[in-house]
Structure 1
Amino acid sequence: MINLEWFRTFKVIYEAGTLSAAAQALFISQPGVSLHLSSLESYAGHRLFDRDTRKMIATERGTMLYNFIIDHMNKLEEAEHNLHRKSKMEKPTISVGMSTGIFQYMLESHISELPFNLVTRFGDYPQMLQELNSGTLDLILTPQKSTQHNLEYKAFTKERIVLICGNQTDTTELDEFLLRDDRPALKEWLSVQNFYTTASDMEHLNRFWSASFDTLPSFRPKYVLPSLGSILRCLSNSKGFAVVPDFLCCNEIAGNAVKLAWEGSPPVENTLYFGKRKNTAYPQEIKYLEEILTRNWPQCHEGLTPVN
């Protein structure tokens, strides 16, 4: 079945003259505009534009289609504007992508304060970048950047990946190995300890282990839990080890529920970025979210100094 959004995109391309200008007017990515046009041309069975180096030139069939739909599209847009005026008091809905840890620790308690509706997504970073580019997400917090020209990134802060343990864990041998910088003995000792990790991936543990010992861990963590928050609750006032971002465990370390066992050497750090589309329909709402996250981000040590 034909998608009516294809006609809206076709009309804007015809009037704007270029795919990039149409993308800006529609607040979607240029690949999204191209997809709508190619889908409409495939459905029609004819080219609707000739692609020039600087401008999209309508073919004869393209001009015929434009003249046929323009009155109907204008009436639909008028109806849309009238409906928007009637519902202008309704809150906009902002879609945000971030890790579950960041959401739980930095944003969850402020949901009731938001002057707009919020939809959150938790996935891997490549998926969130793709959804930001396609318009499914309005804002993401990510350590990864992509090369799409319609996206922009603002450095926000740094997170350090650290080794922690429950406060009942005996770290006497660990401290001795660290004091002597005996990496082989340290690696062997840690390999037989009880480790916690999340069900989604072992990225933090793998990166920390590779940086410290120049290899991937040869063991499987004993406990696989659904989230980093679950790991901290299980470690609090208990025994065992985990590798987590330091901002997640600031309160637990300050309250002596868990201990900072080792910051790693060399340290493993990520720069976190706010990612958004250059042309967004919700600049004020996105700024509001950025300010909340910036204001509530913990500063455990120099590894979490906000980036200006």
Structure 2
Amino acid sequence: MINLEWLRTFSAIYECNNITEASKKLNMTQPGVSKHLSALESHIGKKLFERTTRRLAPTEYGKFLYSQINNPLQELEKVEYYSNQRTKKKRSAITIGCTSDFFKKELIHKIYAFDMYIITHFGNEKDLIEALEMDKIQLLVGIKKHAIYDHQFVYIKSEELELISSNNIDTPKNIEQNEGQFKQWLQRQNWFVLNNDQEGIKKFWETNFNTNFKMVPRYILPSYIDIIEALKNNCGFSIVPKHLCEEALNNSLIKAPIKFSKTTEQKLFYSYKLKNSNLKAINIFIEKMKKTNDNKPHKN
């Protein structure tokens, strides 16, 4: 097998027409350059240069060999250069726990521009809190500002919650004017929820009826986006963040059957363990996300 360094030396001699200049270009001694050339000529059994007093002139085979190896050598040198650059550059690495909704709507169009190694871990909030405590993830995006563990919280934003239903729901006329009947009617409906905790529904119910919401959900789906898709073709209700369902509402694929005077919101937080070895990466990620949000064009 031909030694790659022999070919690199041959290429330098060909381009410089001179052993001395080639040795400078390669940062080698002249005897070292001559040794590489002799080894290559011996290996292939061909003379590559005609030697004169001042310069080296390539033979016909030397010209042929150079034409064959020049481009491949340049490509290999590029690979070597960029590999060295990647080795020298230390990128931060982080594992983020979040819902698939947050990933699809908030992260997917941003994080690929971050100069970081990023792993995303999906799950429900209860499981993700446990994963954070067990160091399976370093940063969590969620709505619960819990007190179970000694985690730190950074506010992200507030999301308005919207009551939505499938289009085939017939709402009794003026039923919202009788709160008791209205609550009973809603509780009899098929409800699509994110998990058994029903945090969004409970918050919505407490805000608008000042009571606890008691019902057994008909369907538990893994994400708000899945719930919205299900309501397009099935009969039922749900409470979801407004920004996730606006497109479906605008296209009349689902509807908001009742308008309420009070606004219900849930807050999103980053949470992380204060004592860990990833604080630098966590701060970098949070700051980059903040900058991308600040640079978003504002709607009129």
Report the TM-score range of the alignment, normalised by the length of the smaller protein: 0.5 to 0.7
Match in the other structure for 1:115: 115
Distance 1:156-1:262 versus aligned 2 partners, 3 A rule: farther
Q: Does structure 1 residue 195 correspond to structure 2 residue 194?
A: no
Gaps of 5+ in 1: 1-84, 302-308
Question: Deviations along 1:225-262, whole A, 9 cap, x unmatched?
Answer: 23221111111265421111222212222222222234
Query: Is the Cα contact below 8 Å between 2:133 and 2:149 reproduced in 1?
Result: no
Please name the residue that 1:140 is paired with: 140
Q: Please list, as runs of the form range in 1=range in 2, the aligned pairs for 1:1-308 lying within 5 A after superposition.
A: 87-89=87-89, 91-125=91-125, 128=128, 132=132, 136-145=136-145, 152-171=152-171, 173=172, 176-178=174-176, 180=177, 182-199=178-195, 201-236=197-232, 239-262=235-258, 264=260, 266-276=262-272, 280-282=279-281, 283-292=283-292
How far apart in 1 are the matches of 2:205 and 2:103?
Answer: 26
Task: Name the CA shift for 1:162/1:291 in 2 (closer, same or farther; >3 Å).
Answer: same
Paired-residue identity, % = 23
Larger Rg: 2
Deviations 1:168-190 (A, max 9, x none): 4323x1x6123x2x111111221
- Cα distance between partner residues in 1 of 2:228 and 2:272: 31
User: Is the CA contact (8 Å cut-off) linking 2:99 and 2:223 kept in structure 1?
Assistant: no
Partners in 2 of 1:232 and 1:297 — Cα distance? 26
Please tell me whether the aligned partners of residues 143 and 273 of structure 1 are also in contact (alpha carbons under 8 angstroms).
yes
Q: Which residue of 2 aligns with 1:16?
A: none
* SS of corresponding position for 1:141: strand
Q: CA deviation at 1:271?
A: 2.5
> Residue deviations 1:19-51, cap 9 Å, x none?
xxxxxxxxxxxxxxxxxxxxxxxxxxxxxxxxx
Q: Work out the CA distance in 1 between the residues paired with 2:151 and 2:197.
A: 27
TM-score norm. by structure 2 comes to 0.56
Work out the CA distance in 2 between the residues paired with 1:223 and 1:296.
35
Deviation, structure 1 residue 276: 4.6
Single out whichever of 245-254 and 212-221 deviates more from structure 2: 212-221
Deviation at 1:164, TM superposition (A): 0.5
Per the alignment, in what secondary structure is the counterpart of residue 255 of structure 2? Answer: strand
Inter-partner Cα distance in structure 2 for 1:188 and 1:129: 35
Asked whether the 8 Å contact 1:95–1:137 carries over to 2, the reply is yes
The amino acid that maps onto 1:281 is K
- Aligned positions, number: 212
Residues 212, 298 of structure 1: alpha-carbon distance in 2 compared, 3 angstrom cutoff: farther
Most deviating of 223-232 and 261-270: 261-270
Give deviations 1:35-87, integer Å, cap 9, x for gaps.
xxxxxxxxxxxxxxxxxxxxxxxxxxxxxxxxxxxxxxxxxxxxxxxxxx994
In 1: Cα distance, 2:297 partner to 2:126 partner: 24
Q: How far apart in 1 are the matches of 2:225 and 2:128?
A: 21
Instruction: Tell me what 1:66 maps to.
Output: none
Counterpart-to-counterpart distance in 2, 1:222 and 1:129: 26
d(CA) in 1 for partners of 2:297, 2:184: 35
Tell me how far apart the structure 1 counterparts of residues 245 and 222 of structure 2 sit (CA, whole Å).
17
1:11 aligns to what? Answer: none
8 Å CA contact retained: 1:96, 1:138: yes
Q: Residues 225 and 127 from structure 1, CA distance in 2 versus in 1: closer, same or farther, beyond 3 angstroms?
A: closer
* Structure-2 change in CA distance of 1:297 and 1:166 (3 Å): farther
How many Å separate the matches in 2 of 1:194 and 1:148?
33
Unaligned runs of 5+ in 2: 1-84
Task: State the distance in 1 between where 2:150 and 2:185 align.
Answer: 48
The one-letter code matched in structure 1 to 2:228 is L
Amino acid of the residue matched to residue 267 of structure 2?
Answer: T
Q: TM-score, normalised by structure 1?
A: 0.55
Give 1:155 shift.
Answer: 2.8
**Cα 1:200–1:111 shift into 2, 3 Å:** farther
